[in-house]
Structure 1
Amino acid sequence: MTSPAGPPGTPPHAVPPDTSTLAFVESPVQLLNVLEWAYVAPGLDASSVTVVVLSPTDPMSRGQLRRMAEYARQTGMALRWEEARGGSAAPLHTVRALAPLLRAARRVVIGDPFSRYVQLLLTLTRARDLVVVDDGTATMEFVDLLVRGQPLVRWHRGGRSGPRDLAFAPFSSSARRRLTPGEGRRVELFTCMPIEGAPAGITVATHSFAWTRTSFGPPAVGLGADLVGTSLVETGVVDEDKYVEAVRSLATSHGANRYFAHRRENTTKLHRLAVETGLQIVRPDLPLELIARRGPVGRTVLSFPSTVVHTLPLALSGTGVRVAVCDIDPAWLTATASPRAQGFLTGVTSTARDVQRVRREGAAG
């Protein structure tokens, strides 16, 4: 397989590795953040890291993961691709295949503590060194739930539970205990998110996108604006009609020409956006932080509340690009949206550093 262009940028380490590290990722952003963590981790040799990709089913995520896997290989990491969702027998096969690796690992790195797959796998490991790398704004929710001792369930599910949730509850509780420091167990949180009041004993390490800035760019910066898409419609939080109108309004007000689609946005909605807003729809083949750093990129990047309002200012540091965020109007929320939705989305925006706020001009509501 041909490696993608661009240097991987991995630094030398004076201290040889003395641990075996196993990392579990389910999205391209999680794999990017494993690369970022390995780049700055003291004394770590990337060749001691084995990355297990618990492959998702959607084509966009799979394509981006394959591109990111090539960068990981270039740093010396070993890659193991598991078709973890490839049929009813796949989960059992995956767990059985990974059990020996889990028992041997001294350090386990995870990208999504909310993942049922990851929670199940954590019950099989004897590792005393656990690292949680960023999975976007979910990191903030993870810390909050850990502090309050509540189940590790994503905010947009709104506390809803069914028979599967009840059956899985013991594994979720076990995972939460393992992700709490104690009994000789070290837990590190590698994050660029604003974290306040992390549980006692958790080591918080700063994530500044050093690998990304070393490996890509600086980008060519244009005069116009780019708009970043969100999957809030797909997750049932925001009404599609109001979202399309909000995008149209922002594009008109700020002279945006391109719309960078989230990897989970469906093609029907994207086609509608193209027709009704005139925006060029771009489906990135890498996480947006790398796309923007590689360039070209607009002088202004517009976003709704999402992970990128925290990550892009770091990835684009020193380039002169302005990141701006438009809040979600409460009137855009669906009738079935979680009661926690507005508060969480407002918190995403209010805690973002080095971003500007833009008005919700002309949006439906």
Structure 2
Amino acid sequence: MNLAFVESPVQLLNVLEWAHVRPGTARSGQSPAADLTVVVLSPTDPMSRGQLRRMAELARGEGFSVRWQEARGGAGAPLRTIRELGPVLRRAERIVIGDPFSRYVQLLLTLVGGKDLTVVDDGTATMEFVAQVARGEQLVRWHRRGGRRGPRELVLAPVTFMARRRLTPSRARTVEVFTSMPVEPPPGITVRSNDFVWTRERFGPPTITRGADMVGTSLVETGVVDLEQYLDAVASLARAHGATRYFAHRRESSDKLRRLAVETGLEVVRPDLPLELIARRGPIGSTVLSFPSTVVHTLPLALAGTGIKVAVCDIAPEWLRESASPRAQGFLAVVTGTARGVHRLAAPA
């Protein structure tokens, strides 16, 4: 049995993609859902929960067993979750995870011993994860600032260290990364390409509208980009390209989106599924505008053959907040520079 832990809608989508194309399934004629159980470690924010509910419905419709776990429902939820998941963890042959930086997932990894592991995409963070594993570094999200670790980080340091060991191949376990991102595999880790085969087979081709649509980003919410600079950039791009809709990221704040709608005139859309599925179902603009994010890598794959243009706008250095991580500008430049099949746009003045 394979066991997948997901905490976001995109992770669940990529688990479905992995199950659809994983080696042995097609040859044996076995259903991709036959030996995979998906455990949703439910987040607390409403947008993520809503999209995860819809993705869980799709997964069940494909025949997968989906277990919804209220993993953050109160102080005792983590210990209760670990106790309830113990038996299925012990039976599993392979563990599939979507976010190796998650403290929750790292805690679960301390319990899995020598089981084989698969990491599926949770966005551009996969690029940083692979690079950190290759360099033998501790697992730290790219937008986090360095410096002294707080009490919580010190308490969880042994958990992170043990998870890092579990994510290193050995004689007892294999480790693979299933990704649509351009990464160089570290020694011993297998990298397989995610081309969104399941998405293209199940949805579309989409109806294409005139004009452009914009894709939102949570760079303001993560403390990387200044709010006023971001709003000005969105307004400039919308005017220049005739954009009419703004597909909000699930982590964007309601206050920010209200200001954006008033100041730019864009129709703000809160998607109920990951954007790759929304775009593939349509209707969608003939041009999709984005800032550096996961979609500049995934949308060209999901929309292959449709003729839709994906364009990415660079983040200007002056947009960054003083509190942003020193690595932010370089990482965002790599996200943009390595995207294939996209059009590059200069940051508006």
TM-score interval (norm. to shorter): over 0.9
CA distance in 2, matches of 1:124, 1:334: 39
Q: Which runs of 4+ in 1 moved over 3 A?
A: none
Give yes or no for the alignment of 1:147 onto 2:113: no
CA distance in 2, matches of 1:172, 1:96: 20
* 1:42 corresponds to: 23
Give the C-alpha shift of residue 178 in structure 1.
0.8
Give yes or no for the alignment of 1:166 onto 2:154: yes
The letter of the residue matching 2:10 is V
Give yes or no for the alignment of 1:29 onto 2:17: no
CA distance in 1, matches of 2:115, 2:10: 25
The letter of the residue matching 1:31 is L
* 1:100 corresponds to: 87
CA distance in 1, matches of 2:305, 2:114: 39
Contact 1:208 1:315 (8 Å CA) reproduced: yes
CA distance in 2, matches of 1:337, 1:189: 28
Contact 1:107 1:127 (8 Å CA) reproduced: no
CA distance in 1, matches of 2:72, 2:216: 26
Q: Secondary structure at the match of 1:298?
A: strand
Give yes or no for the alignment of 1:70 onto 2:57: yes
Contact 2:113 2:166 (8 Å CA) reproduced: no
Q: Secondary structure at the match of 2:43?
A: coil
Contact 1:82 1:94 (8 Å CA) reproduced: yes
The letter of the residue matching 2:260 is L
Q: Which string of whole-angstrom CA distances, capped at 9 and with x for unpartnered residues, describes residues 151-177 of structure 1? A: 111011122531111111111111111
TM-score by length of 1: 0.92
* 2:163 corresponds to: 175
CA distance in 1, matches of 2:186, 2:273: 33
1:194 counterpart (171, 175, 182):
182
* 1:306 corresponds to: 293
Q: Secondary structure at the match of 2:312?
A: strand
Contact 2:114 2:172 (8 Å CA) reproduced: no
Q: Which string of whole-angstrom CA distances, capped at 9 and with x for unpartnered residues, describes residues 198-231 of structure 1? A: 2111111110000000000000111100000000
1:239 counterpart (205, 212, 226):
226
Give the C-alpha shift of residue 184 in structure 1.
2.5
TM-score by length of 2: 0.96
The letter of the residue matching 1:191 is T
Q: Which moved more, 1:24-33 or 1:140-149?
A: 140-149
* 1:8 corresponds to: none
Q: Secondary structure at the match of 1:81?
A: strand
Give the C-alpha shift of residue 42 in structure 1.
2.0
Give yes or no for the alignment of 1:203 onto 2:207: no
* 1:16 corresponds to: none
The letter of the residue matching 1:286 is L
* 1:15 corresponds to: none
Contact 1:261 1:282 (8 Å CA) reproduced: yes
Give the C-alpha shift of residue 127 in structure 1.
4.7
2:252 counterpart (265, 273, 276):
265
2:265 counterpart (270, 278, 286):
278
CA distance in 2, matches of 1:70, 1:178: 31
Cα RMSD between the aligned structures?
0.9
Give yes or no for the alignment of 1:358 onto 2:345: yes
Structure 2 residue ranges without an equivalent (≥5): 26-31
CA distance in 2, matches of 1:220, 1:288: 15
Contact 1:228 1:304 (8 Å CA) reproduced: yes
* 1:212 corresponds to: 199
Contact 2:238 2:264 (8 Å CA) reproduced: yes
Contact 1:108 1:127 (8 Å CA) reproduced: no
Give yes or no for the alignment of 1:339 onto 2:326: yes
* 1:254 corresponds to: 241
Q: Which string of whole-angstrom CA distances, capped at 9 and with x for unpartnered residues, describes residues 290-338 of structure 1? A: 0000000001000000000000000000000000000000100111000
Q: Taking every aligned residue pair, what percent have the same amino acid on both sides?
A: 70
The letter of the residue matching 2:174 is R
Q: Secondary structure at the match of 2:175?
A: strand
Say how many residue pairs are matched.
Answer: 342
Q: Which string of whole-angstrom CA distances, capped at 9 and with x for unpartnered residues, describes residues 33-68 of structure 1? A: 000000001224312111000000011100000100
Contact 1:24 1:110 (8 Å CA) reproduced: yes
CA distance in 1, matches of 2:150, 2:348: 40
